[in-house]
Amino acid sequence: HKHTMTTTITPSSPSAEPPTLSDGVIDAEAPLHSIVSQLDPKLIPVMISVGTYSSCVAGFLFPLDLEKDITATAQKGESNEKDDTNREDEEEEMMFKTFSTKAHDGSVDTFATHGTFCFSGSTDETVCMFNMKRNVQEGEVKVARGPISKICILNQFHDFAVASGNNLTFFSQLTPKGFFEVVWQVDNAHKKPIMDMDAHPSGRAVLTVGADGRLKLWNLLTAQMDFETHLESRADKVRWSPQGKTFAFSRKDTLVIHNSDTAEQIIELKHEHHITTIAYLNEYLISVGFKNGELRIYDVAERQLLHQITEIHKSRVKDISVHEINVLEFLLVSVSSDGVISVLRVKEDAAQLQCIQDLDTRIHCVAVNFLKNVSRRVKKRYVLLEKMHARQLAEQGGEDAADKEDIAVAEGEYHELEATASIKETSSAGEEKSKSKKKTKKRKREEKDADAQEEEEPKKKKKSKRSKSTDKSEKKKKKKSKRSKSE
Per residue in 357-401, pLDDT (tens digit) is 999 899 999 999 998 777 777 777 777 777 777 777 777 765 444
- Beta strands 159-164 and 317-326 are unpaired
- Give every CB contact of residue 380 below 8 A, 6+ residues apart in sequence: 417
- 10 Å CB burial of residue 201 (0-12, 13-18, 19+) is middle
DSSP state of 31: -
> DSSP letter at 92?
G
pLDDT band at 425 (very low <50, low <70, confident <90, very high): very low
Tell me what pLDDT residue 191 has: 94
Question: Over the chain, what is the mean pLDDT?
Answer: 79
Give the length of the chain.
487
Higher pLDDT: 133 or 11? It is 133
Please name the amino acid found at residue 45: P
* SS3 label, residue 71: helix
Distance (Å, whole) CA 426 – CA 206: 40
- Note the pLDDT of residue 230: 93
C-alpha pair distances (Å), 463 with each of 77, 300, 450, 456: 84, 83, 20, 11
Task: Return all residues near 244 (Cβ < 8 A) that are at least 6 apart.
Answer: 200, 201, 202, 260
Residue pLDDT, tens place only, 224-253:
999 999 998 999 999 999 999 999 999 999
Phi, psi of 204 (to 5 degrees): -105, -5
Three-state SS at 347: coil
At residue 291's C-alpha, the angle toward residues 152 and 98, to 5°, is 55
Task: Convert the pLDDT of each residue in 20-62 to its tens digit.
Answer: 333 333 344 455 656 666 677 778 889 999 999 999 999 999 9
Q: For position 380, what pLDDT does the model report?
A: 75
- The confidence score (pLDDT) of residue 460 equals 65
Q: Is the pLDDT of residue 192 over 90?
A: yes
Residues sharing a CB contact under 8 Å with residue 277, sequence separation 6 or more, in sequence order: 237, 288, 289, 317, 318, 319, 320
Which residues are paired to 324 by β-bridges? 330
